[in-house]
Structure formats: C-alpha cells, structure tokens
Structure 1
Amino acid sequence: MIFIEVILPVILIFLSGYIVQKIFKLDIKPISTIVIYILMPALVFQTFYTTPLNSGLFYIVVTSILIFLALAIVIILLSRFTKQDLEQENALMLTAAFANSGNYGAPIVLFAFGQAGMNYAIPLMVFHSILMSVFGIYFAARGQAGIKVAIKVVLKQPTNYAIIPAILCQEFNIKIPIHFYESITLIGNCTIPIVMVILGMQLADVKAKNVDWKNISLATVIRLVLSPIIAYVICLFFPLTPLLQKVIIIMAAMPTAATTAMYAIQFNTKPQFVSSGTLVTTLLSFATLTVLLTILH
C-alpha cells in the first residue's frame, strides 16, 4: 500500500521533529545553518559528481521554469479576478507557487523510486531552490527590496558553489581520493533525514490563528491539485523517460515550501497567512500524494 510504504515513513520522521520541538522548544536556526552550509552542499556535490550531464538535466531546468511561469500566471489572474490587493497576491504567490521539494519532495521520491529517482530529485531540488531564492524573495519584497536582494540571496547559497566543481570533476574525469569522497558521502547522506526532522520542528512552531480559509483554500487547490496537473501537461511536450516524468510531477505536487514562510516573516508579507498555508498544505498532502502516487504507480 502506497501510504504505508511511502507516506507513513515520511510522516513518522516529521512527527519526531514535531514532538521534540513541542517538548524542548529548540532553536532551529543553528541546525538549519549546518544543513545549508555543510550537509546540503555535500549532497549536491555528491549528486552532480556521480550523475552524468545529459538531456534529463536540461529538461529538469526547462520544465521547472515552465511550471513556475504557468503557476505564476494562474495566481496573478485569479488574484485580479478575485480583486486581491498586492500584498495578498504576493502572499498567494509565496503559498501556491513554491513547492517543498527539499524537506519533503526528495524524501518522498527516495521512498517511492529509490536512488534512481533521487538522481533526478536532487537537481530538481537545487533548481527549485534557485527559483525560490530569486522569485520568492522578489514577491516577498515586491515594493520593498526587489531583484537586487534576490540576486544577493542567490549568490549566498552555498549549494550553488558545489555544483560547478562537481560537474567539472565529472566532465574532466578528475577522481577524488576515495577517503575524501567517503567523507563527502557520509555527510551528504545525513542531509535528507535531518531536513525532514527540521520540517517537523518548523511545523510545530506554526500557529494557525485567524486563518483566511477562503484564500488558504485557493492556495491549497493550486499547490496540491493544479500544480501537478500543469506539470503533467508540460511533461507531455518533452521526450522524458517515464521515471523523470513521474519525479517532476511528484515534486510539483509537494505542499508549500517552508522557506517561503521565512521570506514572508522577513519582509512582513502576511506571514501568518503563509505559515498557515504551509501547515494546511502539508497536512492535506498526505492524502493527495497518496492518491497521486497510486495513480503514477
């Protein structure tokens, strides 16, 4: 059964982080910093060092851009149709356009499709992170900071600096001494379980008060239902392998990215709404992903 084999193990890891945070009230920031600056770069380097550059990576970039643009257009049109103000439109964009492909998507792909699926999931996760760093910051800070801040955030992402050395080592057949590579692998393999625990801790800190259920419902439908449908349609236009197509669709069906809540807080873009959207879409995704994985299998 898909739920027991794929979704439940992920829920249990989230739950462990949730319970620990409720009991001990830990500071998440130092743990997140370790993940961002040590664990994630090691995982990214490991992936791009071992995954050949091929058309699959090209299609990952192209489809990710097209899916994001389609979602952005839909959100803007719906916002104008429902007469939302600019701040609410920005909050909807943060809640509905950006998927949690790191803390949630990669583990789901790993449990569902194994290492072969992860070879696609990690590049997807990295590129989604770049899109979120640029456009997530832009929409969170629209009218306050803008594209210059977004560019600075992108340049500060350590994972971006792990990609090029890994690709160069692979392309020029530069062999890393086995003991050094084992260290990189050991650190990289810690990444997925730790980011899953962190998401559980983040959800424990979300306080869903005075929820705007009308707009949360709109964001939820876009994020969990419309996004994978758009991804499926876009995938039809490219000669993708069946596995890559499934991974792209699954990653598009993830709930709201937890990072967007931090952007919303930083720039005061309806942070309570975005945080509530993260919680609601995450909880509902346990059901929607079970259905989607059953269909794709």
Structure 2
Amino acid sequence: MALFFEVILPIMLVFVAGFTLQRLRAMDVRSVSAITLYILSPALIFITLYDADFTSAFVIIIIFMFVLLAFMVVCNKILRKIFKWSPQVESASILATGFMNSGNYGLPVVLFSLGPAAVPYAVFIMVIQGLMNNFFGIYYASRGANGMKQAFLNVLKMPTTYAAVLGVLCQVLDIPISESLHSMISIVGEASIPVMMLVLGMQLGSMTMLKLNWQVIISAVSLKMIVAPIVAYIFVLLVDVEPLLGSLLIIIAAMPTAATTTMYAIEFDTEPDLVSSITFIATVVSIISISVVLNLLSL
C-alpha cells in the first residue's frame, strides 16, 4: 500500500490534472503533444543516450521488446481463431496489447520506483518502443498494400529517431558538446516527463466514444496487464539479467496500452472506438495492477 501512495498516486494525480483540464477547457491535445514529440522528447532521448554507458543490457532490451511483441501477436491470432474475430478486430487487439505506454506512463513509474539509475534503460525502451510503434503499429493498423511502405516513412518522419541516432553516434564517437549546451538540453529534456504525463491525461480526457465489446476488452486487457508482465518475468528468469534491468522489464511490460495506438486506429479506421475503450480501461486497471507488480518486486 505504501508503494501506491509513494509511486502510483502522485502519477495519477498528474494524469487526473490533464484529464480534468481537457474536460473543462477542451484544449488542442495535438498542439501540446507536438511540443513533446518535436522538442522535449528528442532532447531527453539525445542527452540520455549521449550520457549512457552502453552495455549488453541494451541488447537484451531490444531482444525483449521483439519477443514480447511477437508473443502478443501470436496470442491475438489464437484468440481470433477461438472467438471468430474479424481481421479488423484482430488488428485492433494487436494494437492494444502489443504496444505499451513506456513514455507518458512508464518513465515516471520507473523513475519513482527504481530511481534515476534505471532512467537510461527506460528512455532506451521508449526509443525502441517508439520505432516499433511507428513501424509495426502502422502496419497492423493499415494492413493495406502500402502498410509497410507507410510504416517505414513514418519512422523516418519521427524526430525522436534522429535524436536517438545522433545521441548514440556522439557517445560512441566521443564527440564533445559544451557544458552550457549539455545543461540546456538536459533542462529541456527533463521537462518532457511531466508534460508527457499531462498529455496522457488530456488524451484520455478527449475520448468521447467507447465501444464496450467486453469479449475483446477483457481478452486484450488480460493479455496486456496480466500475461505481459508474466512473460517478462519468465524472460528475466531465463536470460538471468541484472536485478535492476529485470525489475524494469517487468514494470514496462505491465504498462497499459500506448495512447498513440488510438491515433493509428483512427487514421486507418481500425476499430478506433474499440481501441480507445481498451486504452482507457487498461489505464484505469493499471492503478491496481501496477501497484501489485511494484509490491511483488519489492518482496
């Protein structure tokens, strides 16, 4: 219970602040989100990767992210066979279960529960998750002839992609930047975490239409909030990673659906109301499920 008040409740209060503001003022969420996407997040990603000490842990993270996504895809294909889902419903469920909210939600939870030492790993996960979301998310949302092409072009459009590449190159090639520039980028990057939290609350506050297909919702939320952290736990046992990284992978796997998947579902008309419903309900359920995960990890 102490972890709930120390970690989850403060984060939820920021989400609620963004949610309430959106309900009262109906602001343009895209404009606020664009500030995060084009300025704050790239600064955080660049400076974190620039300062990072790359180890085998980063390779393990990449492997884990692909293993988890592949597992979710296979599970959804099995559920489609069992429940006779349409291809669109299957795609919607993959969007809702295959991509977790590692940024708006994951970063603050990791920071408050594991401390600053875990933040470089969490930021790297956010980068990989963003690339996967922009590529595979677009693919599963569109499933058309131009799905792969559009997905690849979408990755190239993301400023976070170039911030990540630049940060890694500067670190590996030992390219120095001035102390004043480093400090300024750090200040801008640090602002991204609270703004991302507010944006998530505002995105949830913008949802108006929910499609309560409980068969799909229960299946997707169970996969995302229960099965995914169990898969992460088994992965950590099999790979035998360091405790900090192991706890991080389990926490990230327990994160609810990424809010950006709703945008893809709307863009390509892939059951957008259903995806929105799963995103909203998974986020609400996460108040309890992530509290449970954090308490289990602290034992």
Q: Tell me whether the two structures share a fold, i.e. TM-score over 0.5.
A: yes
Of 112-121 and 280-289, the range deviating more from structure 2: 112-121
Instruction: Decide which moves more: 178-187 or 159-168.
Output: 159-168
Matched, 1:191 2:192: yes
Match of 1:227 in 2: 228
Aligned to 2:99: 98
Residue of structure 1 in register with 2:10 after alignment: 9
Q: Does 1:53 align with 2:30?
A: no
**What are the equivalent positions in structure 2 for 1:129-208 lying under 5 Å apart?**
129-143=130-144, 145-208=146-209
Q: CA deviation at 1:238?
A: 1.6
Letter of the structure 1 residue corresponding to residue 118 of structure 2: G
2:28 is aligned to 27
What residue in structure 2 maps to residue 72 of structure 1?
73
Measure the CA separation in 2 of the matches of 1:82 and 1:145.
28
* TM-superposed deviation, 1:47: 0.7
Counterpart of 1:81 in structure 2 is: 82
CA–CA separation in structure 2 for the residues paired with 1:144 and 1:12 = 43
Distance 1:268 1:144 in 2: 15
Kept in 1, the 8 Å contact 2:100–2:252? The answer is: yes
SS of structure 2 residue aligned to 1:101: coil
Once the two structures are overlaid, the 10-residue window that deviates more, 211-220 or 286-295, is 211-220
TM-score where L is the length of structure 2: 0.97
Query: Which one-letter code corresponds to 1:275 in the other structure?
Result: S
For the residues of structure 2 that align with 1:227 and 1:271, how far apart are their CA atoms? 23
The Cα shift of 1:34 comes to 1.2
| Aligned residue type for 1:204 | G
Aligned-pair CA distance for 1:122: 0.5
Normalising by structure 1, we get a TM-score of: 0.98
Structure 1 residue 164: deviation in Å? 2.2
Distance in 2, matches of 1:270 and 1:95, equals: 11
- Check conservation: 1:67, 1:234, Cα contact below 8 A: no
Q: List structure 1 segments (4+ residues) > 6 angstroms apart after TM superposition.
A: none
Shift of 1:174: 2.2
Q: Give CA-to-partner distance per residue, 1:77-111, whole Å, 9 cap, x none.
A: 11112111101101111111111111101111011
Alpha-carbon offset, residue 183 of structure 1: 0.9
| Partner of residue 270, structure 1 | 271
The one-letter amino acid paired with 2:6 is E
**How far 1:282 moved relative to its partner?**
0.1
* C-alpha distance in structure 2 between counterparts of 1:140 and 1:18, whole Å: 26
| Contact 1:224–1:285 under 8 Å retained in 2 | yes
In the aligned structure 1, how far is the partner of 2:84 from the partner of 2:215?
A: 13
Where does structure 1 lack aligned partners over 5 or more consecutive residues?
A: none
Alpha-carbon separation, structure 2, partners of 1:157 and 1:76? 29
CA shift digits 1:198-225 (9 cap, x unpaired): 0000111112544111211110000000
| Contact persistence 2:257–2:279 (CA under 8 A) | yes
Which range moves more in the overlay, 212-221 or 163-172? 163-172
Mapping 1:232-251, distance limit 5 Å: 232-251=233-252
Query: Is 2:127–2:164's contact at 8 Å kept on the other side of the alignment?
Result: no
Whether the 8 Å contact between 1:207 and 1:276 is mirrored in structure 2 is no
Q: Which residue does the alignment assign to 2:213?
A: 212
Q: Is the 8 A contact 1:264 1:270 kept in 2?
A: yes
* Structure 2 residue 255 is the aligned partner of structure 1 residue 257: no
More divergent stretch after superposition (208-217 vs 172-181): 208-217
CA shift at 1:235, angstroms?
2.0
Deviations 1:117-139 (A, max 9, x none): 11211101110111111111111
Q: Distance in 2 between matches of 1:236 and 1:128?
A: 22
> 1:133 is aligned with what amino acid?
N
Distance 1:257 1:149 in 2: 20
The answer (yes or no) to whether the contact 2:110–2:251 under 8 Å persists in 1 is: yes
**Cα separation, 1, equivalents of 2:136 and 2:233:** 23
**Counterpart of 1:160 in structure 2: which amino acid?**
T
CA distance in 1 between partners of 2:199 and 2:141 (Å): 22
